[in-house]
Chains A and B, each alone.
Chain A
Amino acid sequence: DVKVTQSSRYLVKRTGEKVFLECVQDMDHENMFWYRQDPGLGLRLIYFSYDVKMKEKGDIPEGYSVSREKKERFSLILESASTNQTSMYLCASSSGGRNQPQHFGDGTRLSIL
């Protein structure tokens, strides 16, 4: 089974801090994704990556950046955390085929105080 591991289930940070969310997958997937999930809004794509060192902006990239130095690891960075970034963050990975499903991690519930 595909395993997508997010480094923390719960995280509390302060406004203005630089926050790193880590995601690792073990299936050699080319594609990795970061979503934000908010009640009533569903999942919104922040950034995705289809190869090492490659990244593309999703629907809501403002205030975020990403890093993919190795194929298995995709990091989401909040440059200067703000309270409106309090949310559930989901990482996903998929192989290259378009009909292939995305496999999700357990999520990180991030609170910015």
Chain B
Amino acid sequence: AQTVTQSQPEMSVQEAETVTLSCTYDTSESDYYLFWYKQPPSRQMILVIRQEAYKQQNATENRFSVNFQKAAKSFSLKISDSQLGDAAMYFCAYRSASGSQGNLIFGKGTKLSVKP
């Protein structure tokens, strides 16, 4: 079975600085999808960024980018120019490209604090 590990329960970053959140996963599959979700305090979980495993190029979305290392099974999230609104729980998630209908496997999350 696939597993997702986020080794940093909590992280802190100074406003305007850069922070990297770690995520590793375990799978025997070659085709899959990876996601980072953000859950602000008492607010809805939203998608930050996604990566297809067959793509070598790292995904980017404005200030958010990933470092996808398929051989190492690593999928870290980099947040540049951190803003106060980036404070949230961040979840890394894996989805198989085969098998059942697309349920996600989540890590336990990293709580990010942003200091003004």
Give A residues with C-beta under 8 Å from B: 30-31, 33, 35, 40-45, 48, 50, 56, 58, 90, 94, 96, 98-107
With the chains together, A48 CA to B104 CA distance in Å? 11
Given contacts A101-B35, A104-B46, whether A42 and B108 have CB atoms under 8 Å apart is: yes
Partner of A101, one of B43, B50, B103: B50
- B9, B46, B50, B109 — most chain A CB neighbours (10 Å): B109
Query: Given the complex of chains A and B, what is the CA–CA distance between A112 and B46 in angstroms?
Result: 27
Contact of B44 among A40, A98, A106 (CB under 8 A): A106
Tell me if B97 is interfacial: C-beta within 8 Å of chain A. yes
Selected contact of B107 from candidates A42, A58, A96, A102, CB within 8 Å: A42
Question: Can you list 28 A-B contacts (CB < 8 A)?
Answer: A30-B101, A31-B102, A33-B104, A40-B9, A42-B91, A42-B106, A42-B109, A43-B91, A43-B104, A44-B106, A45-B103, A45-B104, A48-B100, A48-B101, A50-B101, A50-B102, A56-B101, A98-B96, A100-B102, A101-B35, A101-B47, A102-B47, A103-B47, A104-B44, A104-B45, A104-B46, A105-B44, A106-B43
From A94, which residue of chain B is reached at the shortest CB distance?
Answer: B102
Identity of the chain B residue whose Cβ is nearest the Cβ of A100 in the assembled complex: B102
What B residues does A98 contact at CB under 8 A? 33, 95-97, 102
Least Cβ–Cβ distance between A21 and chain B, in angstroms: 16
Q: Are A56 and B100 in contact (CB under 8 A)?
A: yes
User: Which residues of A sit under 8 angstroms from B50, Cβ to Cβ?
Assistant: 99, 101
Contact present for B103 and A33 (CB under 8 Å): yes
In this complex, which of B35, B52, B106 has the most chain A Cβ atoms within 10 angstroms of its Cβ?
A: B106
Return chain B residues, CB-CB under 8 Å to A103.
Answer: 47
Q: Which residue, of A94, A99, A106, A107, has the highest number of chain B Cβ atoms within 10 A?
A: A99
Q: From residue A56, how far is it (CB to closest CB) to chain B in Å? A: 6
Smallest CB separation, A102 vs chain B (Å): 6
Question: Which residues of B are found within 8 Å of A40, using beta-carbon distances?
Answer: 9, 108
Among all A-B residue pairs, the 10 with the closest Cβ atoms? A50-B101, A42-B108, A104-B45, A101-B47, A43-B106, A42-B106, A99-B33, A98-B102, A106-B44, A45-B103
Q: Considering residues B97, B101, B107, which has the most beta carbons from chain A within 10 angstroms of its beta carbon?
A: B101
